[in-house]
């Protein structure tokens, strides 16, 4: 098993506000940049290439929201090492020596694309590993990093839901400004993902879109990103559990080639705070939980 004691002594962080403004949690699962040494030595590509999978600076974008009355969650390990926005065992058998457990999901579209719980490739399709991994290595990463993160996130969501009667999880991501396919249309500044209307009350993406358009951003919905495992798994609007994914186009806040913040970063972060306040203004009574209609 990879030694993570020193390198990832804090694999993720949860900061709760001193006083809650609204039952809203902002989560950044893909901005982690603490790369274990053993992982780097096993990789056939360098750190610059590995970092292309990061949602760089999204954790910085939301970190000050805890001071405004919102909870903030950030993952510190990289998604290229373990991706928490997947099912717990979406694993590619081609990556491993030995047989995966029978409960592993080896046939999902994400696994086929090389982007399972233990990714085979980085975002632009480059293979990560020189050699196959042991099954024990893959499973130990899930036990040490993936499962503790989701246990903590579930506890936080449960606490908020119990306190307020509803909970909103805003899953914060960034996307490359240009897609891999040349046929893909120009990407907007922001893409809202609500699993095509199934992961949250419709009022929430409407508020996000209206607020961001008023601030001058172009906004799309569900294409090319409708929301991953976190959005689908934690969203249950009928029970008052709402999850919405927000993808920021990296070109609006950073230099993608140099992987540095741009001059616009501070303004985009300020606009993200404006968005948080707009979501906080949505009446809790509009968000459930709702009783099923009588037949």
For 107-142, what is each residue's pLDDT tens digit? 999 999 999 999 999 988 899 999 999 999 999 999
Structure tokens that stand for 171 in this block: 């899953």
Structure tokens that stand for 141 in this block: 């990463």
Nearest to 85 by CA among 9, 150, 23: 150
Residue 72 lies in a domain: yes
Whether residue 131 contacts residue 205, with contact meaning beta carbons closer than 8 Å, is answered with: no
Q: b/e for 8-28, b at 16 or more Cβ within 10 A? A: beebbebeebeeeebbbbbbb
Please list the residues that pair with 27 across neighbouring strands: 73, 171
Residue 196 lies in a domain: yes
pLDDT class of 147 with cuts at 50, 70, 90 = very high
Q: What is the pLDDT of residues 217-246, one digit of tens each?
A: 999 999 999 999 999 999 999 999 999 999
How many angstroms separate the CA atoms of 277 and 266, rounded?
Answer: 17
In sequence order, what are the residues at sequence separation of 6 or more whose Cβ sits closer than 8 angstroms to the Cβ of residue 74? Answer: 12, 13, 27, 28, 31, 32, 59, 62, 63
Arithmetic mean of pLDDT over the chain:
94
Q: The whole model's pTM is what? A: 0.94
Residue 97 lies in a domain: yes
How many angstroms separate the CA atoms of 95 and 129, rounded?
Answer: 8
Section 8-32 average pLDDT: 96
Nearest to 36 by CA among 5, 9, 78, 7: 7
pLDDT class of 286 with cuts at 50, 70, 90 = confident
Domain CATH number, residue 234: 3.40.630.40
Residue 62 lies in a domain: yes
Residue 131 lies in a domain: yes
The proportion of the chain whose per-residue pLDDT surpasses 70, expressed as a percent, equals 95
The runs of H, that is alpha helices, within 83-146 are 109-112, 135-141
Residue 194 lies in a domain: yes
Section 37-50 average pLDDT: 96
Structure tokens that stand for 91 in this block: 């694993």
Going by their DSSP bridges, the two strands 219-221 and 190-193 should be labelled as parallel
**Residue 97 CB burial class (10 angstroms; 0-12, 13-18, ≥19):** exposed
Residue 58 or residue 291, greater confidence: 58
Residue 99 lies in a domain: yes
Number of domains in the chain: 1
pLDDT for the residue 292: 47
Section 44-69 average pLDDT: 96
How many angstroms separate the CA atoms of 96 and 90, rounded?
Answer: 13
pLDDT for the residue 290: 63
User: Residue 51 belongs to what domain range?
Assistant: 12-287
- For residue 120, CA distances in Å to 40, 94, 136, 144, 166 come to 14, 9, 16, 19, 37
Residue 109 lies in a domain: yes
pLDDT for the residue 5: 52
Helix (H, G, I), strand (E, B) or coil at 171: strand
Section 29-40 average pLDDT: 96
The residue with tokens 């098993």 is 1
């Amino acid at each position: 098993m990879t030694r993570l004691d020193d390198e990832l002594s804090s694999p993720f962080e949860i900061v709760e506000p001193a006083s809650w403004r609204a039952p809203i949690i902002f989560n950044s699962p893909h901005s982690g940049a603490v790369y274990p040494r053993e992982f780097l030595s096993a990789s056939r590509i360098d750190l610059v290439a590995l970092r292309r999978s990061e949602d760089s600076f999204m954790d910085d974008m939301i970190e000050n929201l805890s001071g405004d009355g919102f909870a903030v969650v950030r993952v510190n390990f990289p998604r290229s090492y373990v991706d928490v926005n997947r099912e717990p065992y979406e694993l590619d058998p081609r990556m491993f020596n030995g047989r995966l457990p029978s409960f592993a999901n080896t046939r999902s579209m994400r696994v086929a694309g090389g982007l399972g719980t233990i990714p085979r490739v980085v975002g632009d399709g480059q293979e990560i590993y020189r050699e196959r991994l042991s099954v024990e290595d893959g499973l130990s990463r899930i036990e040490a990093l993936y499962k503790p993160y989701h246990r903590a996130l579930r506890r936080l969501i449960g606490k908020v839901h119990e306190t307020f009667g509803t909970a909103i999880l805003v899953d914060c991501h960034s996307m490359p400004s240009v897609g891999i396919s040349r046929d893909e249309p120009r990407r907007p500044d922001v893409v809202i993902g609500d699993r095509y209307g199934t992961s949250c009350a419709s009022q929430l993406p409407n508020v996000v879109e209206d607020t961001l358009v008023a601030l001058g951003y172009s906004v799309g919905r569900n294409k090319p990103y409708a929301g991953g495992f976190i959005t689908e798994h934690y969203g249950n609007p009928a029970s008052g559990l709402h999850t919405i994914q927000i993808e920021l186009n990296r070109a609006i806040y950073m230099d993608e080639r140099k992987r540095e913040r741009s001059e616009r970063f501070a303004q985009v972060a300020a606009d993200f705070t404006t968005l948080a306040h707009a979501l906080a203004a949505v009446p809790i009574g509009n968000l459930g939980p709702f009783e099923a209609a009588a037949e």
